[in-house]
Structures are given as structure tokens and as C-alpha cells.
Amino acid sequence: MAFQFDPGERADVSFITTDSVDREGEVFLPHGGDWSQYNRVVTWCHAYGPVDGWIGLPVAACLWMKPKTTAEFTGTLAKTRYYEKPTDWGNSGASGPWLPTVITELQRQNPPGCTGKSIGCIPLNVREATRDEIRRRPDWQGKPIFDRWLGLEYAVCPVPMNPSCELEAVAKMTARKRIDHRAIAEMVTDALRNRIERAMGLP
């Protein structure tokens, strides 16, 4: 499938949710998601406040969502457009690299980085897989199936909870800007270290 991007657009198209079994052994059915209260915000690793060197602002906006079925799964595609750096960035005390630029720069590397997406939601109903579902999807056997949930936001992240929620296409950069690659590397390394330490329960 070919996706259209505007010249110079900083955007990607990714699966944000699929019916694959995620890393916690759960299944969220894409068609069960209610996005009626979604305000198009895209976060960095579901951060709503300062975390990992970023001040907690959203990094992008969602332009559209569309259902898509592949040979392996059914999912929801979304187009994410990353925010441009404000001209007065840093005047109010903010410092460090502009994270949306960091993300899009990493996505254009070979191999690309920061390609994952993850949904933030409120589960509304959970059940076991039916016999018909297990016949079609044996991997759903014994897994909790969330067939209704309220979608609040989705996030761009280095490692998605659902391994199928990955980037499908990214807009090419027409004019490369100079960025501080050392600052980018340090920021991403710190973010990953902090999340690993929290997952392990380290102080």
C-alpha cells in the first residue's frame, strides 16, 4: 500500500493497535475501540508530565485512523504528523533537543528507530475467546480478549507492547536540518535506561 505525504512533511503511518497477542499475553480487538473522546494527541511513551528529559508536551497529532487487515492480523492504521519546533523554544527555560525532531530523525535511520506505537485506553469488557475465534486464531487460546475499550491516546515509543504495532511508512525529509546527534543519543539512552530500571523495580 502506497501512502501520500506532503513535501517536507514530518509524518509516519503505523499500526497503532492489532489483534495480535501482546507482550502481556492480552488481545485488544481493534474494532472494539471507542475513539469518540480522542482529541488526536500523540504522546511520547504515554508521558503526561516530565519524563526522560522531555517536559511532557505531546509530540504529534493524529490525522486519520483506518482499519486494515493483513495475512497475520487485523489492525488500525494511523497517520501521525510530528510538531515543528516553536520559534521561541528555549526562551521560557525549556532546554534540550526538540523531541519530535529526534523521533523523525531516528525513524529515517537505517535501520530505523522509534518505530513503535502503543495505545492508552480504558478496558470496558474482557472475555475468553470463543470456539470459532480459537479455530481461526489458535494463539488466542487462554488469553483475555478485550472486545470493548475506550481509546484515550496513542504513543510513539522505542519498544511497543504489541510487537505488530510498528511503522509502515515514513515521509522522506527533503531538507535535513542540523541536529545534535550526541544529545539525541544521550536522551534516548537515558529514556531506555529509566524504563528498564522502573520495570525491574530499581530505585
pLDDT digits (tens, 9 = 90+) for 95-105: 678 899 999 99
E strand residue ranges, 53-108:
60-69, 74-82
Retrieve residue 27's grid coordinates: 488481545
How do the pLDDT tens digits run along the chain, 203 residues long?
556 677 778 999 999 999 999 999 999 999 999 999 999 999 999 988 776 667 788 999 999 999 999 999 999 999 999 999 888 877 666 667 889 999 999 998 988 889 999 999 999 999 999 999 999 999 999 999 999 999 999 999 998 999 999 888 777 543 334 444 445 445 545 555 555 566 566 66
Query: pTM score > 0.75 for this model?
Result: yes
Long-range contacts of 60-66 (CB under 8 A, 24+ apart): 60/100, 60/103, 60/156, 62/38, 62/154, 63/11, 65/16, 65/35
